[in-house]
Structure 1
Amino acid sequence: MTLKERINRLSSLVDGMSVLYVEDEALIRENIKLFLDTIFKDVQTASNGIEGFELYKERKFDIVITDILMPEMNGIEIVQKIKELSPDQPVVVISACLESAYLLELINLGIIQFLLKPIQTEQMVEVLDEIVTDIYNKRKTDELNNRLQQELVHQSRLLQQYKEVVDVSAIVTQTDINGNITYVNDAFCNTTGYRYDEVILKSHNIVRHPDVSPEFYKNLWDTILNKETWHGVIRNLSRDGNQYITNATIRPILDEYDNIIDFISISYNTTELYNINEEIWQTQQEMLLTLGEVGETRSQETGNHVRRVAKFAKLLGALYGLEEDELRLLYSAAPMHDIGKIGIADSILLKQGKLDADEYESIKKHTKIGYEILKRCNRPLLQAAAIIAHEHHEKWDGTGYPNAVEGENIHIYGRIIALADVFDALVSERVYKKAWDLETTVAYLLDQRAKHFDPVLVDIFVEHIDKFHEIFLRYKD
């Protein structure tokens, strides 16, 4: 780098920096000041140590340059006094020759920058470049630290306010990697009835509802241990044994090495909303059950038939592995499987003898009638009822009606209701037939395996036939 380039670089770094130059020889002082003025905008001079120190006391300078041998107060003395006020003050010492005694004393004062007279421009620039670069870097570091400090204060205040907002509106818990509670807020204590000290370092099992399956919690833990966020609804028990429902989000907190430190859960008490929805659901369920009973009564079936089919379907669906929400839909919608019979003429529906071909074609229409009645509603429960009404007479081998759908193209609800409906019809006494015994019924089901019925469902049904027969006996007409 040329001298000009170095001076230009130096000038680009000195913005706002000030220099105090102390020199008793007027000519040298003026010449050096002229040079310093080409680089710095703020250069002050003094002709001796006393004058220089008085200037320094009025205001501090970024750089002090001083001669050693001066009258009244020499360079050693002014450096000592300046260092008493500002121990880290950068100082450049100039002398015609540095005696060992001066040199040792200056080193003890922390002076490491020296210039020998006559001063060479290159040497001056080199020394100033080193000092200015240090000052510039320190200023930038201080500015960055200040900004970081201000940002930290700002973010800390924001976080504190966010925390206050969350604490007011949500239940907050912190859990360690082993599942032990390390923090709960007031909302948790108010909701559960437990004091802070009663739950700290305890497992979340303290509020675990006994009806929630181990698989539910396994899925939850598998998710968060995989460093993913879990969302869901959790049923819990308060200290007094009452159920409360929370809509929870659980997030793993990671360190800078991507290791899990702990888990934060933010949840909202939705018990009241759950209870309202539950009441609405129960009302819908009772309505569908009543309508199903009315439909069956019209065709000289008993109301208990739709109850049994619903309970068979729920048990079979559970054994098959349907989720809780699907089971609920299946159980509640099952009573509507034959609702389409309200559109069938009494002369056909109530006929005592065997139906002729035209009558049979007519009664088959009840699947489409029921579907048309129910499909218009977008509610999940009525949509499930529409599927069941439409598909419960389809057969695995594709010989069923109304659309001759086969295999797994038949909705699982339709496949389950088909088996549950036929089983109940076989073991029940009707005006046109005697009740079949269990052995004959099982034989028929096995014969229709992969023909009328889903083979997997038949295997499950037969394996657990005693449970289904128990339901039948409990709700027998």
Structure 2
Amino acid sequence: MFNKEFLKTLTVLYVEDDDSIRMSLSNVLTKIFSKVIICKDGDDGYKKFYEYTQEKNAKINLIISDINMPHKNGIEMVTDIRKLDQDIPIVFTTAHGESEYLMESIKLKIAYYALKPINTAELLDNISNFCMIEYNKTLVEEKSNQITQYIDIINTITSIFKVNTLGIIIEVNDLTCELLEYSKEELIGMHIDSLLQQETFDNALKLIENKDLIKIKLKLKSKSGIIFYMNTTLISQKSQYTQDITSFLYICIDQTEDEIEKQQTMQKVRKNIMQQKTKESNLLKITKDLENEIERIKASSISSKDSQLILNALAKEKQKVATLNTQILHYEEKIAKLSQQAVKIDENEKAKKIEEMRRLEEYANEKEKFQSKIIELQALVSKLEAKLKKKIVD
């Protein structure tokens, strides 16, 4: 059974000089295929093929053509078309008496002969089969091209080298040579351990034993001594016949910048930890010194009763100073208010304002007295504090 969905994707060039046959088969073909280009003879067929594929740059997937036609027969038409396209599948529709064209058809790589009268179902089955084969070939080519592109991309971002079972390098890509500053000739034949730092080929063999691949971290050293940090996939390659390991493939991605940044970050972290520990040590020392000072004061000759009396006296005197300061602020506000009022004295209120001025003078005198008292109290507080400190020292 032919693949209807697949045939609907194809464009067909149909060439037939017999009007009735052309009309009959073209009605069937237009229902099956995506597009059918109908031609009346070989000359018309070639011109439309050229126009469609060369001038319009479009794709014709299949040619169905009669052989015996006027102006240009099927053999002549296909001979010209093969100069433009070597691979397009071609079906000849022919009568029994035209077998003399068989050898020429073989040379032209004709895909199928359909004998007249045409069995449409059989024709479509065969078309579906060989067109599918051509389609699969196209897919394989596309996939192959994609794989080639992927390999090219991989070669630009990864270092790849292959070693034999002894660790001798047998293949390298260009990026490996560029990174490690060696030519291919220098690297091929070199033992992989000559490039490795810390890790060895023997260690890798132990890790990959009974496995197809492993992921490891490598440090590679260039010719000039530069160290590169590599995230590496190590793949064992086996013989398809014996399944014995024949070689190993190293696929390395450069992580040097990330590794250096990570190391710098760790250094900063360690530095911060050390600084924090130093701060904690200093705080512990200060705390210890304070504890020792407290113990020394407790053990001094001054009695707890004397200390409490002095502290109480200091507290009382400081409270007095605070109270006097509050009163002074009150008087200053009064003086400021009265001063503002005195500026606006009216002749009719002169006597009243004189009395207020007298009160203003009294407030000013009181302020001076309080300020003198504060000075005395502050001096007393200073003496008491000095006395307390002296006793603590003694």
Q: Aligning the two structures, in what range does the TM-score lie when normalised by the shorter sequence?
A: 0.3 to 0.5
TM-score, normalised on structure 2? 0.47
Larger RCO: 1 or 2 (CA < 8 Å, sep 6+): 2
TM-score, normalised on structure 1? 0.40
For the pair shown, the structure with the greater C-alpha radius of gyration is: 2
**Which structure shows the bigger proportion of residues in helix conformation?**
2
